[in-house]
Amino acid sequence: MPPVIFAHRGSSGTYAEHTRAAYLQALADGADGVECDVHLSRDGQLVCIHDTTLDRTTSGTGDVADLTLEELRRLDAFSWKGASVPAEFGGETDQFLSFADLLLLLRRAGRPIRLAVELKHPSPFGLRLEEALIAFLMDEGWDPESSMLGSIEVSFMSFNPDSMRQLAESVPHHLLCQLVSDIRPKEVREALRFGSIAEGALINLLHRALKEGEALIDHQEVGMAGPGMKYIRAHTERVRRWIQEGVIVRAWTVNKIEDALFLAELGVQEMTTDYPARIRSAFRSD
Ligand code: G3P
Ligand code: CA
């Protein structure tokens, strides 16, 4: 079986991450699914963005959580990457996307599609992020038994084990993906924005979260593990054991064909990439 391929923040190697253009390109690239990071806006709306701040990927500055959805929608989330968009993608490709916008786009895909939602922590809203996501999906007609929303299969990911535990009450076990990574300095800097914790204490907390996350996978309290490439290289035998024990492994961010082939050899079933067409070409000839 070829691996299931997810477009990481859309086809974000081609177009600016989390934009309509990136997600439409993911569909055109033949991705089996798309990945999306979610945060809450000041008025409690789910929005698609990776960072807690707007500066890197939009025309805005400051915290995502300080603006309302209406204010966020006025931002240009596209131009920073400097690509132009094919005419067939239509207008509004620069738009900052709400999670509702993304669902609409995927509903119009005209084929079954998987959606991997990453709940981003630390969030100034804490686990209200999880509550908001489940409430929103229920309103949209999501079926918690199957995790289907029409032809969209929704799965949930987080580095935060508390997020997984909270979601476990509403989400089928096999669609919960505990993300794991050794400490990433960029994430530490982001996390230091919230609360008055010292860096050393924060690193201890992150280590503890990693150990708890690994334990959730070991004990199969979640059905999926989401290790990064560096983690897989450093802990290959642990990942191999997870696969042998029946855990589905969804690896990120797999942009090199040599990495994809190494993962396939290891038995990794799902891969998240900025370049879905490239990774797909390693396994399928159509
Ligand atoms: O797919 C999981 C991966 O996206 C986690 O890392 O930083 O890209 O959100 P990040
Ligand atoms: Ca992510």
The atom number, within ligand 1, closest to the CA of 186 reads 7
Classify domain 4-281 at the CATH class level.
alpha beta
Tokens linked to 51: 């960072």
Reduce the DSSP state of residue 179 to 3 states and report it. Answer: strand
Strand segments (E) across 198-269: 224-227, 248-251
**Domain boundary assignment for the chain:** 4-281
At residue 67's C-alpha, the angle toward residues 62 and 71, to 5°, is 115
Pocket test for ligand 1, best of 118, 178, 229 (most atoms within 8 A of CB): 118
Calculate how far, in angstroms, residue 88's C-alpha sits from the geometric centre of ligand 1: 29
Closest CA to 277 of 88, 12, 1: 12
> Per-residue pLDDT averaged across 186-204, rounded?
80
What gap in Å lies between CA 41 and CA 185, rounded to an integer?
A: 25
- pLDDT at position 195: 65
What gap in Å lies between CA 243 and CA 279, rounded to an integer?
A: 21
* Ligand number with the minimum distance to the CA of 177: 1
Calculate how far, in angstroms, residue 56's C-alpha sits from the geometric centre of ligand 1: 16
pLDDT digits 0-9 by tens, 209-255: 999 999 999 999 999 999 999 999 999 999 999 999 999 999 999 99
At residue 100's C-alpha, the angle toward residues 96 and 102, to 5°, is 65
pLDDT digits 0-9 by tens, 115-153: 999 999 989 999 999 999 999 999 999 999 999 999 999
